[in-house]
């Protein structure tokens, strides 16, 4: 067993990293005329052994079949959704019979909504997939059967052109997987009967009507939310129009308690709930990607910030990425706590109560 592991480690030698180590040693010897043992040990561990050992651990934990490509998705909901939604195109483009996605346990549902994903594995705590410089530990990753591929952008990669000349995040993912730039996401599976029944019970229990219920999503992992004053203003407009408001997160639950009913709806039931509601108002997040592919009526708010090489709206517009035409998109300056364009739009909604 020990010999097998050593053999795998030696096979995993990365010539580029080995050249970096040799260069470090030569520079140190030239400058100081000696190389301390602890310097060499630290460099060996960081540049070579640590990475190689992690490769062995990773591959032993997540073995692949000869006709299977395994794509690792350790990032957010939106990133995992795009990879899963392109699974069919990836398989066809790279002659892969089976595609496995390795995802965070809380994102298992995201991978499950697309028919072309054949297998879903769950990333385990304690198993590393990234090096210290944000590069993938498996140096020989390939888009081919019996291989692994990192389903995200490494450091100093093409992600830095998002927002430049109309290039969006979806374009970069298509380029990452070497797909036709006209590729679109696969149609998701319809919400199952259990999800629909669960949501019907929520509507009945809380005396909600599909024609007068708005779901608001105030939080995101990758961008900062607007403050409570802004969301209170949104809620006040909705209330004057007669709408019931459901807040689906702990974020701002206390501040909005006078206007919104706080209900934690599981991720796997959210598409069904949003389809039953009359609208969703959400800060741009991965949740928006999920609801967009189900053609949910949605108002999406983009903080006015620089995001890679453009604005967040330029780089992540759901309309420009082709995910949905059932959304209305607004760019909002968080510092102002106000948006005349957005508020005017909400005032134009029909009175329901």
* pLDDT tens, N- to C-terminus, the chain (353 residues): 455 655 655 555 566 556 655 655 655 555 555 656 655 555 555 555 566 677 778 888 899 999 999 999 988 999 999 999 999 999 999 999 999 999 999 999 999 999 999 999 999 887 878 777 677 888 788 999 999 999 998 766 788 899 989 999 999 999 999 999 999 999 999 999 999 999 999 999 999 999 999 999 998 888 888 999 999 999 999 999 999 999 988 888 899 999 999 999 999 999 999 999 999 999 999 999 999 999 999 999 999 999 999 999 999 999 999 999 999 999 999 888 789 999 999 999 999 97
Please answer whether residues 96 and 70 qualify as being in contact, where contact means their C-beta atoms are separated by less than 8 angstroms. Answer: no
How, if at all, do strands 327-332 and 298-303 pair?
A: parallel
Burial class (CB in 10 A: 0-12, 13-18, 19+), 189: exposed
* CB contact at 8 A, 22 and 106: no
Nearest to 165 by CA among 309, 341, 275, 59: 309
The predicted model scores a pTM of 0.85
Token pair for residue 211? 């024609």
The pLDDT, as a whole number, for residue 130 is 78
pLDDT score for 222 = 83
Q: CB within 8 A of 236, min separation 6: which ones? A: 259
The predicted structure's pLDDT at residue 135: 76
CB neighbours of residue 222 within 10 Å:
15
- Are 350 and 241 in contact by the 8 Å Cβ rule? The answer is yes
Predicted pLDDT at 53: 72
Output the pLDDT for position 28.
Answer: 56
Report in angstroms the alpha-carbon separations of 284 from 74, 83, 223, 293, 327: 19, 19, 8, 14, 12
């Amino acid at each position: 067993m020990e010999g097998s592991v050593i053999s795998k480690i030696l096979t995993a030698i990365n010539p580029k990293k080995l050249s970096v180590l040799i260069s470090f040693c030569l520079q140190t010897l030239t400058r100081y005329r000696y190389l301390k043992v602890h310097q060499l040990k630290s460099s060996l561990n960081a540049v070579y052994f640590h990475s190689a050992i992690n490769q062995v651990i990773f591959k032993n934990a997540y073995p692949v079949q000869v006709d299977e490509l395994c794509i690792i998705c350790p990032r957010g909901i939106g990133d995992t959704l795009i990879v899963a939604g392109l699974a069919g195109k990836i398989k066809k483009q790279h002659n892969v019979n089976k595609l496995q996605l390795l995802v965070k346990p809380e994102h298992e549902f995201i991978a499950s909504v697309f028919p072309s994903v054949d297998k879903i594995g769950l990333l385990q705590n304690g198993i590393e997939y990234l090096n210290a410089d944000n590069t993938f530990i498996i140096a020989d990753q390939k888009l081919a059967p019996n291989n692994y591929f990192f389903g995200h952008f490494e450091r100093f990669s093409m992600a830095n052109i998002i927002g430049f000349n109309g290039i969006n995040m979806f374009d970069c993912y298509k380029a990452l997987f070497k797909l036709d730039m006209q590729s679109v996401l696969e149609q998701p599976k319809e919400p199952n009967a259990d999800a629909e029944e669960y949501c019907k019970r929520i509507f009945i229990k809380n005396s909600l009507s599909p024609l007068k219920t708005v779901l608001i999503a105030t939080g995101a992992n990758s961008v900062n939310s607007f403050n409570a004053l802004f969301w209170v203003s949104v809620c006040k407009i909705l209330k004057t129009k007669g709408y019931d408001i459901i807040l689906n997160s702990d974020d701002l639950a206390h501040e909005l308690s006078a206007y919104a009913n706080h209900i934690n709806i599981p991720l796997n039931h959210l598409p069904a709930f949003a389809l039953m509601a009359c609208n969703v108002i959400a800060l741009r997040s991965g949740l928006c990607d999920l609801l967009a592919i189900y053609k949910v009526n949605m108002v999406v708010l983009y903080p006015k910030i620089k995001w890679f090489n453009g604005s967040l709206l330029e780089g992540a517009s759901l309309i420009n990425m082709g995910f949905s035409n059932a959304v209305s998109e607004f760019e909002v300056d968080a510092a102002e706590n106000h948006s005349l364009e957005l508020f005017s739009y909400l005032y134009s909604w029909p009175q329901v109560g």
